[in-house]
Structure formats: C-alpha cells, structure tokens
Structure 1
Amino acid sequence: MASNPGITQKKMSIQNKYNEKLVGILHETGSPDIVVLCHGFLCTKNDRIMVSLAAALEAEGISAFRFDFAGNGESEGVFMVCSQRQAEDLRCVVQHFVGQNRKIAAILGHSKGGSVVLLYASMYHDVHTLVNVSGRFDLLRNVREELDDDEFMERMKKDGFIDVKNAEGEVVYRFMELCLTNLLLNPNMHDACCEIDKACRVLSIYGSNDEVNPIEDALEFEKAIPNHKLHIVEGADHFYTSHSNLSELVSIAISFIKQDLHHN
C-alpha cells in the first residue's frame, strides 16, 4: 500500500475482447486524470521502470494504471508476438477508464510497449499525449533469420502459430501466422506513425547505449511522427539500469505528461 493515506493501490482486472482478464494495479490518487503504463517484451507490470513511473505519478497526484498484457504476468491468455493484439488490449483498458468518466492523460510504453502505444495512437486517435520509451521501429529485426528457415515456415503454415519454449520446455510466447503476415505487410512503424494526429504530442526517450533498440530507431521515429520530441539519456542501456539514468527517464516523462495537464 502507498504511504500517503490519500492514495490507494488496488489490484483489478479488465476483460479484453477475447474474454481474457488483464490484471493490473491501479494507483488511485483521486485525480480525474489517469496515465496507462505498458510494459515491454516478456516483462510485466512489476517491471522496475513501470513501478518507478507509477510511484512518481502518485507523488504528483496523478493516478496511474500499470497492467500485464495478455499472456504476461498475472493476465490470462498466451502471450503473442503481435503488436496489434497488445494494442487491442490497451484499447480495452482505455475504454474501461473512459467508461468510468476518467480522462486518459497519457499512455506510456517501454520497449515493445512503446511500439504498442504508437500503434494504438495511429489506430484510435483518442489519447493526445504519448511517451515512447525505447520502442522498436523495425519490428522485423529479430525475425529475419527465422523467415529464411524452411522448417520454421512449414510449421507456421501447418499450425498457424509457433510456440517458442525455454530450456525447461515451457512455452514462453506464441508467434502467430496472422501476426507474421501483418509484420510482412508493414515491416516497420513508418506508415503507422504517419497516421498519428498532428495534435497528438509524442515524446520518445532513448538511452545512448541501448543494445536492444538502438538510437537509430529514435531518429526514425523523429522523422516519421508529426509532433515529436526526442530526449536521449546519455549512457543509459535499454533497461535504464543505473539509478541516475532511471531518475532522468522518470523526470523527463513526468514533466512532459504534466505539461499537457497544465494546458487543459
């Protein structure tokens, strides 16, 4: 529980369009505004970045909701490598809070979550402040080797999906043929980014030493998104491991979100 008596942290679930429960933590400050936080690939709502951002928003009196995408953490379903599916999950979360007369002040995503947030904005146009933390521009970057593997493609065509397992034989995530088709039709984020409203404010934050999604991705987003700001955290890796790097990330993101609240 939060130390401030006016703030509560409540676990809750929201159903997605596939009748799967998406489990999240609502950091309730009583504000009409709420920020939705989206975790990265194979991470959860309890990721250090998500928890740090939620705590900082709490401290500013802004409510936050961090949740697990389907198949991650405590949420139901099998995690799929498909940004469209996660954008649909995010849509259900946004609609839930809008239905409770809350205003979505911003949506923020880290890594895969950053790509999902941008894809969401290109599809729905109802949230006007976005923060992309170290998102991927080239969505096919890690898939190209598999595309040249005949066995991989035969299994994909036969079953419609491939389950990727860890050393213990447990399914870590599912890669759907539909998702692969979508990726091949639109292998990068450029077209989606061009669909984001010009009135939508977008901040991208990247680490200069990001070994997963390099600084080149940030520069591509800078070119493609109409109303875009870019902040580079010097020396930061993909997970903002050092305390000072994480603090800078949180500070810049919160300042950007608060700026929009002051405008309203």
Structure 2
Amino acid sequence: MPTESISIITDAGHTLTGSLELPTGLVRGAALFAHCFTCTKQSRAAVSVARALAGEGIACLRFDFTGLGDSEGEFGRAGFATDVADLVAAAEALLERFMQPILLVGHSLGGAAVLAAADDLGFDKVAAIATIGAPSDVPHVLQRIEGDIEAIHRDGEGTVTIGGRDFALSRDFLEKVENIDLLEEVGRLKRPLLFLHSPTDAVVGIENASALFGAARHPKSFVSLDGADHLLLDDADARFAAGVIAAWASRYLPMRDDWPLPAEGVVAKTGHGKFGTEVHTTNHRFIADEPRSYGGDDTGPTPYDLLNAALGTCTAMTMKMYADRKGWPLEGVTVEVTHEREHATHCDHAEAMAEGKQMQALHRRITVHGEALDAEQRERIIAIADKCPVHRTLEGELHVHTESAD
C-alpha cells in the first residue's frame, strides 16, 4: 500500500508523527488507529489493521502518542488524558482532509483512548469504533508497571519498568490515569461499537470485554480472538483481527455517491498508488495494479492479467455452455493463458505482418475434465474454444477510438 508520512501538531505544541496507509485505488473513507500502551505505530497490530483497511478502500492513519516512537513530548508526564487529546488532534487532521466521519480503532489502552476520545471529538464526526483487547478499567494499566507507585505519589516522580523498558513517571501521569471512569463514557456513546478480545488474554482479561460490552449501547458486536495473545504477535491473529474490522467497517463507511457505476462498459480511475487503478463495471468494482518488480504495489491483477483473463474466462464459459446444450457429461475445464510480446521470432507467418507492426500472441492451454466424455466429444469441446466471443474480437478487425471527455 502507498504510505504517506504525516505530522500532527497538538494543542500542547508537540509534533506527533504518523503514517497514513492509502488505498491503491480510490478512498471511500478514513480511519484512525491508536496503538497499545508504550507501543508505537510500528506495532504488528497497527500495521496489519491499517493496511487491511487500506485494502478495503479506507485510508488509515497510525501515529505515535506523545513521547513514544518518533513523536515529541514526555511520555512520563503525559498520561491517559494526553493520549485522548492526541487522538482528537489526529482525528481533526483526518476530518479536514477527507471531509466525512471517520472510523476509530484502538488496541489495548489505545482502545480505551478511542472510546474516551469519541465523546470529546463529537459523535457527528465518528462513523464507528472498534477496539482490540481494550481494558474496561483504565487504572488497570498501572498493574502492568514494575516500580514503586506509592513512592511516585509521595515524591512526585520516579523510575518504573513497563514491558521491559524504563520510564520516568510523574505523579501527574498516575493521577490522570486513575481518575478515568471509562464504563460511564462508553454508556454515553451513540455510535456502532465492535469489541475484539482474546479469551486467553493474559494481560487484559476477557472480563474487560464483558464489562465494555455490557455498558455499551446497541448497535454493538463482539468477536472472540480465540488463542491470540494480547499484542497479536502472531501474524495470523493480526490478519484475522484486521480482516474482521475491515469487513465490519464497510457497513459504516459506505461507498461514496460520487462513484457511480457506469451504465455500460468499464470505467477506470487512477488511485493513490503509483499504478493502482480502480475499475468499475456496471455491477462490480476492483483494483488493477502492477507487480512490485515494476514499481507497483501488487494489489490487483495487471492489465495483461485482465486481458488473459478475458480470453480464459470467455473460453471456459463458451465450452461449458456448448457441453450443457449438448447434454454431455463435462465436469469442467481449466484454461491457462499466457501473453507473448515478441511472437514474430517464434512463428513462420511473420512476413504477413505490415512493416513496423509488432506481432504478439496469446497462448491458450485447455484441460477438459470429465471421465465419461468420449474422444469425439472432447475434440468438439476443444474446437468450440475458437468460437468464444472474446477470441473472435481479438482476432477480428478491432479499432480503438479515443476522445476527450472535457
């Protein structure tokens, strides 16, 4: 996916760094991802979810909270309220760019932060909210801190260890975490909610998901991340969570009205990738792209893949239709198609080509399936392949007419 570097200035004057994952085709909406406690925008969950959403046409911004990753500020003096303020600043940047309500997604404490930020942001700016392994009790995070919390309350500051890393925490940080009633805030939310949680989460227990789900209003959904660890370190778990969120979000970020399907033919529109192009037919949408070896993002078939597919699919359909009409026991066909650019060097009829005109070829290899078919039936089914409409179009007198739509 194309990735754009983003800088966000907070009300406190800090610069937050982010990565905006863009669809290779057109954008139908935007999402904001909040990472877990002391993680960064490079966490496995952040990257997987952001790119999965981009694959569904939803631009997704993942960023580093104050004092983490590449963002400015002091983590040890920030606290939960600062995380919420960071989210609001990042969300406002997305809203200004994409001009429509956004999806909020948060992992672990980031999940608690997006639930709290929705109220501050304004419900009219939020399309839906999804959380992964979120705590229902924000002070719960203090249980994961190795250090003398009481000494910090007494002395005003102290060094602790979180996830194997040392941090200097202030009394203000602890007080900002301790004074949050998240369940009360969740009860006020009037937006669709999705809670994903592992029943074997050893960091934030499954009872947290139960509490959040119970406090939330409908529409609300719960998905069990069976067997997953809290940080989604297994790629399969991260991809599953990302896929679920992307599919669920499509209901609340519908296709834009300015993307009409054509009344006839095909419409191709360039997207955000170097070559990524959205293709609209009268009933379908998909992405065409180029492989990474050609500088593309490999998010869809290439134009020549589509050309080969046109011949292959039309051939298969024609052969099946013919066999069905005859009542023959055809079980199916497999059509393999490849494209050859320099066909003139491999054939004996190149002299017939006009001077300076390139000779290309499509090679078609067909396997007919059906043990009950006799030799004559197989031969006639193979012969009908040359009668498929796309084959006739490609070998006929084909002209391409171009005009400006301006």
Partner AA of 1:172 in structure 2? F
- What's 2:91 paired with? 94
Question: Could you tell me whether the CA contact under 8 Å between 1:164 and 1:175 is conserved in 2?
Answer: no
Q: What TM-score comes out, normalization by structure 1 length?
A: 0.84
Residues 142 and 62 of structure 1, relative CA distance in 2, 3 Å threshold:
closer
TM-score normalised by structure 2 residue count: 0.56
Counterpart in the other structure of 1:5: none
2:3 aligned residue = 9
Question: Residue 53 of structure 2: SS of its match in structure 1?
Answer: helix
Q: Which amino acid aligns with 1:118?
A: L
Residues of 2 paired with 1:101 and 1:166: CA distance? Answer: 36
Q: How does 1:33-48 map to 2 (within 5 A)?
A: 33-48=29-44
Alignment counterpart, residue 63 of structure 2, candidates 45, 67, 84: 67
Tell me the equivalent position of 1:192: 185
Q: Write the deviation string for residues 21-69 of structure 1: whole angstroms up to 9, x where unpaired.
A: 0000112334152111110111000101111112212222221111001
Which residue pairs with 2:45 in the alignment? 49
Q: Which runs of 5+ in 2 are unaligned?
A: 257-406
Counterpart of 1:204 in structure 2 is 195
Distance 1:78 1:49 in 2: 24
- Which one scores higher on RCO, CA 8 angstroms, separation ≥ 6? 1
Per the alignment, residue 104 of structure 2 pairs with 107
Change (3 A) 1:166 1:55: closer
Maintained 8 Å contact 2:41/2:63:
yes
Secondary structure of 2:249's aligned partner = helix
Tell me the alpha carbon deviations over residues 100-127 of structure 1, each in whole angstroms, 9 at most, x when there is no partner.
3432430101011001011112333231
Give the match for residue 180 of structure 1.
174
Residue 19 (structure 2) aligned to one of 14, 18, 25: 25
Whether contact under 8 Å (1:83, 1:115) holds in the other structure is no
Q: Which residue of 2 aligns with 1:128?
A: 127
The aligned counterpart of 1:143 is 142
1:76 counterpart = 2:72: yes
Task: Letter of the 1:211 partner, please give it.
Answer: A
Q: CA RMSD in A?
A: 2.7
Distance 1:185 1:167 in 2: 23
Question: Residue deviations 1:189-241, cap 9 Å, x none?
Answer: 211112212xx001010012101111000000011111221111111110223
Matched, 1:262 2:262: no
Higher gyration radius (CA) = 2
The answer on whether the counterparts of 2:103 and 2:249 sit within 8 Å (CA) in structure 1 is yes
8 A contact 1:106–1:127 mirrored in 2: yes
Q: Residue 251 of structure 2 aligns to a residue in which SS?
A: helix
Unmatched segments (≥5 aa) in structure 1: 3-7
